[in-house]
Amino acid sequence: MKKYKNLLVEKEGHLATLTIDRPNKLNALNRETIKELHDAFVALNDDEEIKTIILTGSGDKAFVAGADISEFADFSPKEGSNLAAKGQKLLFDFVENLATPVIAAINGFALGGGLELAMACHFRVASTKAKMGLPEVSLGVIPGYGGTQRLPQLIGKGRAMELIMTANMIDAQKAVAYGLINHMVPAEDLLPFCHSLGDRISKNSPVAIGYAIKAINAGFKNNTDGYATEIDAFGTCFGTEDFKEGTTAFLDKRKAEFPGA
């Protein structure tokens, strides 16, 4: 794995922990960090040993406290649109559709682009110290990395409207009640808890998990028939070595041993 300026990558068995390491900027996302995240996700997704990726922020204050505003404060409308389009394609949509599961371990503030990145992950676990929100309208702009789409998908239209229009933050207790996060745990348990989830995921078929991600995401896309995508993916699984191993193991009353497990 290559070295990154703004990221730390650790591998332990079938798990990889990807840490955004800009503590002096509260791990804010700039264009360089977005590109490095893309490259790191590509490399980890291509690594056959890695079955789950945990994404977190360095320090105990922030997961990602937003985008680096100094980079785009003087942008024109066209430059702003290009910024959003490139960022969505390079990182946020890319993570959402990655075949390797990505768990967001929210260790502190997840604001603006930080919350948008957490929402692009396949699911989220937060420390009891975490605070989340989309404060962009207080800067005269709206979320541009998918926040207006993913937040209502996760918590419903009315709650999303309120959070975006008030620019308020919510704590982890409210976030779990809203369905924005899957679990809330004490700060010291955050990474161990995510590791336990990753270990459980890693015992299952990585091929089937990749197809499940594809089918689930299809149901949230315009002009895409999620049911048809599921049917196609379901059938495709029958032609895989993982299906043969999984069904044979079940019939033999033993645990399946998938490639790389």
SS3 category, 166: helix
In angstroms, the CA 195 to CA 105 distance is 10
The answer to whether the beta carbons of residues 241 and 208 sit under 8 Å apart is: no
Residue among 120, 115, 128 at smallest CA distance from 66: 115
Q: Annotated catalytic, 36?
A: no
N-terminal to C-terminal alpha carbon distance within the chain: 20
136 classed as catalytic: yes
Query: Is the distance from CB of 247 to CB of 237 less than 8 angstroms?
Result: no
Separation of alpha carbons 196 and 48, rounded Å: 20
**What value, to the nearest 5°, has the Cα angle with vertex 79 and ends 25 and 19?**
30
Catalytic residue among 10, 116, 188, 230: 116
Q: At what angle do helices 157-166 and 147-155 cross, to 10 degrees?
A: 130
Query: Nearest to residue 179, comparing CAs of 215, 227, 126, 223?
Result: 126
Alpha carbons 113 and 216: distance in angstroms, whole number: 23
Which tokens hold the place of 93?
Answer: 């949509």
Of 32, 136, 188, 245, which is the active-site residue? 136
Indicate the DSSP class of residue 67: B
Active site residues: 116, 136
